[in-house]
Amino acid sequence: MYHKAYGIIETLAPLHVGASAGEEMGNLNLIFRDQFTQTGIIPGSSIRGRFRADMRSGANKGDVNQWYGHEAVAGQSDGGTTEALVKFEYASLVWFPVFCPGQPVVWVSCPRLLKRYQMIIGGDAKIPQPYTADNSLQAKQFSEQKTTRKILFFNLGFMEIEHTQDMQSWIPQGSSLQKNSLVVVGDNDIAMLHDMGLYRQSRVKLQDDMKKVAGGAFFNVEAIPEGSVFIFPVGLKEIGWNPFVTEAEQEMYFGGLESVGFGRCRVTLAGAYQ
């Protein structure tokens, strides 16, 4: 029997968790993606590693081996390892910002991602249908096109809002999202919109003694943009896990390239964890 908790991650800077520049120089360094929606994820191992590393230097560093398991020790039976009391699953997207030319930025999701979100937090609210938004969504209306529905324009096309409902209940705890900017699209559309909204950057490694590109050290990197919201489940064999000591939220760094402006996130914990 596990105690169920979860975490909400809101990116405060671009986030890259995937191939590293050292392994893929000269190519596009891709992020990790969900196999069905093709949207970005944060592996559970990356989340566990960050929590474990931060606890090692925190006020409760004496609890590291208890919660995350003891590492192998040479000379001891079975290596002296112990099972971790806290388990992490991968973080999936809940909302993802997409630029709309001439209109406000909107945050998109799809029924499959919202279904996983609801499964983690609990509840039985009806999953919004594709092409649903809140009544307060700011979008263009074209009555001359024989429709009074709202239309959103993206870089590669447009989308008509077919349904409306109150989206307040789909805003994750601790995030700064507003319901007037949330749009649910189809499961078959989310991958294309996700690729349109990714943060991409070309990078080079210069030679140590002059401003000249080191041989072959030119590469491109893609990242989840700031303002994206993820959720990840946490399973605990015992309650009392308290990684942030006195707070329910904390800023943390995930993924690579954190020394050059990537990876800063705000993490909010909820559920039965302490």
pLDDT (tens place) for every residue of the chain, 274 residues total: 889 999 999 999 999 998 775 554 556 788 999 999 999 999 999 999 999 998 888 777 778 888 888 878 887 777 778 888 999 999 999 999 999 887 789 999 999 999 999 999 998 889 999 999 998 888 877 665 566 678 888 887 888 889 999 999 999 988 889 999 999 999 999 999 999 899 988 877 788 888 877 776 677 889 999 999 999 999 999 988 888 888 889 999 998 888 888 999 999 999 988 8
Q: Could you state, in order of their start, the residue ranges of all structural domains in the chain?
A: 3-271
Q: Which residues contact 225 (CB under 8 A, 6 or more apart)?
A: 11, 14, 96, 97, 197, 198, 199
How far is 86 from 97, CA to CA, in rounded Å?
Answer: 31
Structure tokens at 107: 């945050």
CB 137, CB 181: distance < 8 Å: yes
The helix or strand, by DSSP H or E, that contains position 7, with its residue range, turns out to be strand 3-11
